[in-house]
Amino acid sequence: MSYPQVTTSDRIAFERDGYVLKPAFFDAEEVALLGRAIALDPAIARNVTRLADSHGASTELALWNHPGEDVFGMVARSARVVDGMELLLGGAVYHYHSKLTMKRPRLGGAWDWHQDYGYWYHNGCLFPDLASVMIAIDPCRRVNGCLEVLRGSHRMGRIEHGRVGGQTGADMARVEEAMKVLDHVYCEMDPGDALFFHCNTLHASGPNISERSRNVLLCCYNRMSNNPYREHHHPRATPLEKVADSAIRERGLVLAGDERTFYDARHDETVEAKTG
């Protein structure tokens, strides 16, 4: 069976725009496994962090550092993701962390404009050689808070960040100026679509005002050569054991449960667990 791959053309788009969208990167069976894992794994429910936006609403977040042997780990370690990240970042990568963000119907809050390197910088990463892949588990539309990006904003470099509600947000004066010259793109996604984006790409998402949930999995990677110079709550360079793309379906509905160590973003005053 053949699987979708990140291509040289995708790398060109990534370097130009700061992101690339890969439709149907995961199939319906694989996405269904992820959705069922969220619903059935009690450890996820016990380890949800709620982070408030600038309007007081909140989004649910569950975050872990090491990919593990469960269905989420199979996705994070899958060849199509890891090979794709290595092509986009230009070298060997390791798993920096993964996270679920869950916006409940009518309740899910927004993520304010930010760059991931806006706070990963403080974790001891000298270079912005990091990227994330967002995998849609539910349909992601404007009405339920799909990811929004400023196309080409990664070329601005890292900008200043500060506190915005319970989150860390970018300097809005600079964001507003960037909006005058860069395209504001709403990245609407179907289940199984994957959005790869650079750590300096400005991104945000609106609240969920719909009757449907907006659940996504984000897997984040750092180049091995960008090993953080100090200890932090996200790992230093750690060898990543890649698995075949077929491993997601072959492993099936395996839950991590108490085998997984979660990180509570509320315990970090700079909220490095921020995501889209």
What 3-state class would DSSP assign to 50?
Answer: strand
The DSSP H or E segment spanning 4 is: none
Please state whether the predicted TM-score (pTM) of the whole model is above 0.75.
yes
Going by their DSSP bridges, the two strands 147-150 and 184-187 should be labelled as: antiparallel
For residue 164, the model assigns a pLDDT of 66
- Kindly report the average pLDDT of the chain as a whole number: 92
Q: What is the pLDDT of residues 163-183, one digit of tens each?
A: 666 667 778 999 999 999 999
For residue 166, the model assigns a pLDDT of 60
Domains with residue ranges and CATH for the chain = 8-265 (2.60.120.620)
**264 confidence band (pLDDT: 50, 70, 90):** confident
For residue 275, the model assigns a pLDDT of 41
Residue 222 CB coordination number (10 Å): 29
User: Distance (Å, rounded) from C-alpha 100 to C-alpha 248?
Assistant: 17
Least confident of 126-135, 138-147, 178-187, 260-269: 260-269
Q: What is the DSSP letter of 261?
A: P
Q: What is the pLDDT of residues 205-242, one digit of tens each?
A: 999 999 999 999 999 999 999 999 999 889 999 999 99
Task: List, in sequence order, the alpha helices (H) in the chain.
Answer: 8-17, 28-40, 42-46, 71-77, 79-89, 117-120, 172-181, 247-251
For residue 1, the model assigns a pLDDT of 85
Whether pLDDT at 94 is above 60: yes
Whether pLDDT at 72 is above 60: yes
What 3-state class would DSSP assign to 6?
Answer: coil
Whether pLDDT at 4 is above 70: yes
The Cα angle at residue 54 between residues 51 and 55, in degrees rounded to 5:
100
Whether pLDDT at 140 is above 60: yes
User: Distance (Å, rounded) from C-alpha 260 to C-alpha 177?
Assistant: 42
User: Distance (Å, rounded) from C-alpha 18 to C-alpha 166?
Assistant: 26
For residue 266, the model assigns a pLDDT of 56
